[in-house]
């Protein structure tokens, strides 16, 4: 276990910084680095364990900016669709290139939003909530990457970068709680996983703090560009993985 410590500390620090700046993608960065050192199912449980603490801390820091009314409906839709995606669509995963096709979609979407974001106007209507929350549920259920559609939704429907970060962190905290609960119930969260999480939580929170310092120095337009850049990285990770 100790031989994993250097890469664990480095990966949690980097992933925490990205999370602190963009409000998502801790798991994306963490999995991209650690997949070579820990079996994937154990790695998902470790990532979920770290995210619980990290999101709770970040949500507490930005608690005054949370738009509570914008959380329940997307959360319920996301949860229901995630479960449905896992149960009803799992047979389509026999097609080996879904993951790569989704990566291409993320790359193209991030490029479009980065260069032509002024043309995108998403309002908090029921239709948009159903569309993006449902998309997040499908992607989360099939691929474990349901964050980007919800990020786009909250990025467009909040009035400040603080509202965006506070609301997304609370949403993802609730989302991650039932994810962690499912993994715990299935026996994926072992004593060894909790020990690794304990060793990595310090650098995770340090990275989160560094990311927040950067976050406070950027404006809303720069935040959007950073989010789209992270989506671009996410797409390449899925395409090449």
Q: What is the pTM of this model?
A: 0.83
**Interatomic CA distance for residues 181 and 36, integer angstroms:** 25
| Averaged pLDDT for residues 198-216 | 95
**Interatomic CA distance for residues 157 and 185, integer angstroms:** 35
More confident call, 127 vs 74: 74
Number of compact structural domains in the chain? 1
Q: Which domain holds residue 158?
A: 2-240
**Interatomic CA distance for residues 52 and 181, integer angstroms:** 11
Q: Which residue has the tokens 């509570």?
A: 68
| Averaged pLDDT for residues 177-202 | 88
| Averaged pLDDT for residues 129-143 | 78
């Amino acid at each position: 276990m100790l031989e994993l410590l250097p890469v664990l500390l480095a990966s949690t620090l980097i992933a925490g910084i990205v999370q602190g700046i963009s409000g998502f993608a801790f798991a994306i960065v963490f999995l991209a680095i650690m997949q070579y050192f820990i079996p994937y199912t154990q790695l998902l449980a470790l990532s979920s364990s770290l995210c619980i603490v990290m999101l709770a801390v970040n949500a507490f820091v930005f608690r005054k900016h949370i738009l509570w009314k914008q959380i329940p409906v997307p959360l319920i839709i996301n949860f229901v669709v995630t479960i449905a995606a896992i149960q009803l669509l799992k047979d389509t995963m026999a097609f080996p290139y879904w993951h790569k096709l989704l990566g291409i979609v993320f790359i193209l979407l991030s490029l479009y939003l980065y260069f032509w974001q002024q043309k995108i106007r998403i309002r908090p209507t029921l239709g948009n909530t159903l569309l993006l929350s449902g998309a997040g549920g499908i992607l989360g259920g099939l691929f474990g990457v349901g964050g980007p559609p919800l990020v786009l939704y909250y990025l467009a429907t909040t009035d400040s970068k603080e509202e965006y970060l506070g609301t997304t962190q609370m949403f993802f905290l609730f989302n991650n709680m039932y994810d962690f609960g499912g993994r715990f119930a299935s026996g994926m969260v072992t004593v060894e996983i909790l020990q690794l999480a304990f060793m990595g939580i310090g650098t995770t929170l340090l990275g989160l703090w560094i990311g927040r310092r950067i976050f406070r120095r950027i404006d809303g337009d720069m935040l959007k560009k950073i989010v789209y850049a992270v989506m671009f990285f996410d797409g390449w990770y899925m395409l090449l993985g």
